[in-house]
Structure 1
Amino acid sequence: MRSAGSGRHAPLVAAAGILLLCVAGRARAQEVQAENVTVAEGGQAEINCKLHQYDGSIVVIQNPSRQTLFFNGTRALKDERFQLVEFTQKQVRIVLSNARLEDEGGYFCQLYTEDTHHQIAILTVLVPPENPLVEVKEQAVEGGEVELTCSVPRSRPAATLRWYRDRREIKGISSKQEIGKVFSITNVVRFRVERKDHSSIVTCEATHPALRGQRKQTQYVLDVQYSPTARIHPPQGVMREGDTLVLTCAVNGNPLPTDIKWSRANDSLPERALIEGEVLTIPNLSLLDNGTYVCQVANKHGRSSDQYVLVVYDPGAIVEAQTSVPYAIVGGILALLVFLVICVLIVMVWCSIRQKGSYLTHEASGLDEHGEAREAFLNGGDGHKRKEEFFI
């Protein structure tokens, strides 16, 4: 009986075995693939799960905490930043908006059949740096050193900081500190400064993979303090009685002096003198106003002064005209003129001597010819020659 029963059920067992093999073969044929994604903080990321030989089995997408985001196209987690934008037999695509650092990790793409198939898409969140912060340790003074600190309090991975001055890189000392998943970066630079460096620009530059070749820069304008200088701009021409004297004291310095003092050496200023900051005005000049006028300025780094000697002339006085041409240039021009005159005289004398010598030579030649003829005549054609003296 048992063998007969076994014979009757044999076709059913064989059919069931064939069905299981087909299901197993179909399950093994289905595959799922996932791609890793990198996104900047605050940006948008796409998580793709590619399906191969998909037959409608259950597809589940889970976040790094193994919470289900979507179950066969249906939202399971109430996080509106995740949106299912595509669900086909070839691909499941999810878009994450406003990515956060805590979103980083592995996202599971699972295909449920008799055997579970899954792939993990790694989401990496970069934290780009903000514009660097530049601070100065203490006030810069001419002849001393200035210390500048550039910092980026938050980046991932750590940003790279560089200093530039006049388009040239200057080396600083860099350091970083890890705070949770992000890094705080600083770079300190020191260099000597002079008054000519005041208002020049030093740039701190941050580079980072999330910036995609762009740079974050912060420019710092150097504030170098230095002692003041004073210079009086004198009036043009001579000053005569009745004229108005206007003197301007040009002042420089950092901090800029605001208290400008006018005075006259060994005497007081005329009562009618008018002072308006850096300008001193004395109307209706007289001979009593002659003297040395002084402009004095000061700041916390030093003092400076300049002076002007006033000479007031009578209205009818003849004063040697002033010229703006330097005496050295005038002397050079005169010397050149004298040299040219001497050269002309030498040429004229030489030409005169040459012409006179030629005349005397021809005249002497003529005297010789006439003398020989005369001597022949006196001797009566005799061949004897006598010596005769001729006085010219």
Structure 2
Amino acid sequence: MARHDARNWHDCSKMTGLLCLVLSILVQYGASGQRVKVEPEVLSYPGQTVNLRCAFTDPTGIQLTMVTWIYEPRDGERINIAVFHPNFDPNYPDSPVRGRVSFKPTPPVLASPSIQITDVQMTDEGKYICEYATYPIGNEQGITYLVMLAKPRNMATIVTVVAGTKTVTVAKCESVDGRPAAQISWVTTANGNGTTVSKPGADNTVTVNSEYRMVPTAADNGKDISCVVTHRTQVKAESYPLKLAVQYAPQVTIVGYDNNWYVGRTNVLLTCQANGNPVPLSVMWKTMSGEMPDTVQINGNELKVLKVDDAVNTTFVCEVKNRIGTGRDQITAMVRGTRLPEKGAATGSIIGALIGVILLLAIIGTAIAMYRKRKESKDGPPKYKPPPPKKTNSSASRQLNTAPAPVAEDRPLNDQYYSTQSPEPVTDLDAYHEDDDDYGADIREHYYSAAPSGWDDPRDNEVPPPYMRTDSDPQDYHQGPNVNRGDSFVSPAMFV
């Protein structure tokens, strides 16, 4: 048991030592990466001057011995380009940048030995390593990437093709002498694909060529296609719009035949419509029988029949040619003995007309009804209900003659009477008993209805004088007697 525990302790000790070693290496590497401070990337155009900075950030407890700048091309070996030791002058070994590289400031400082390269060229692109020789930790370094930029020359062209069944190149786009390589894409509704190829250009630049390939058809002619170039030197992508150029033979259509050519019809016209790329050069009319009827006139792409007869009962053919080929169309005319009945108006038109008539009749009917209603309101009886008759304390005399009678004498109402020839007792509809003292003398009123002016004042205490007959009155006109309220009275005689 003790032996087993000792073995486990020995294994644990070995593992701990290994972990400590790895940790120390990582700490040392991390510390060294942090001590040498450089710029990770520097951009430059040809002919410019670039500064590559380097500094040792924390030399505490470390002795800086020497610094060396090393150049590593993209495809090549490392080369020392600048060396500085505090006890010696700066040294610039043979290199592609000799004569153009120097320490800055002058004389250099070991803690910050930056360099400057003038008149940079495209071939100067690559890694630049600032490496310190130190004691006791050894060499420390930092890496800067110098990226050379060259703005490319971009262009796009269209390729004229003939419609067919094979895949061909219809457009080309090129980005010449750029650094780094440009990115090319295509934007179009045509059904095809782009292919891109890069190749070295002059002075360490790159040229990118792209082609758009597809099976061209007549429908593709004139479609939009754009080449889009993206490059690091450009603020935004550059677009180059084009239009596809697809050549094809003429496409021909004859229009104008209405299937109603009857004997005797005049001046019917057929038109030969054609489109093609390039533009059609010639148009030819002919018949399947080989002979053109005498009543036919041809003017370019128009065929006119002056008078329809049995001779035009044939097939007319129109042929159109261009540089690519020939296109044709034909129409067979059938001559009828009589004309076909003309087509009636469309259902929609009929329905619209009916709706319009109905609306017009409705408007007229509404106007008539409003006119009649207005007329009846003017000529008809009043629309208000007359007030009920009012009651008085004494019975009013009913007078047939509206003219006031002359006054014979001034005497009380009880002594007055009217003479009649045939008195008949009738019920006084207006009579009623006023035994109730609640009705005061202040509110007693006369009964009046359609009375003449001067007799209808309810507050007038005077009573009308007795009726006096004059010579001008008719002999058979009699007035009924006046009686007090509550008594019977006799209505005047009526003669028919």
Query: TM-score, normalized by length of structure 2?
Result: 0.39
Higher RCO, Cα 8 Å, sep 6+: 1
Query: TM-score, normalized by length of structure 1?
Result: 0.48
Whichever structure has more strand as a proportion of its residues is 1
Whichever structure has more helix as a proportion of its residues is 1
The higher radius of gyration belongs to 2
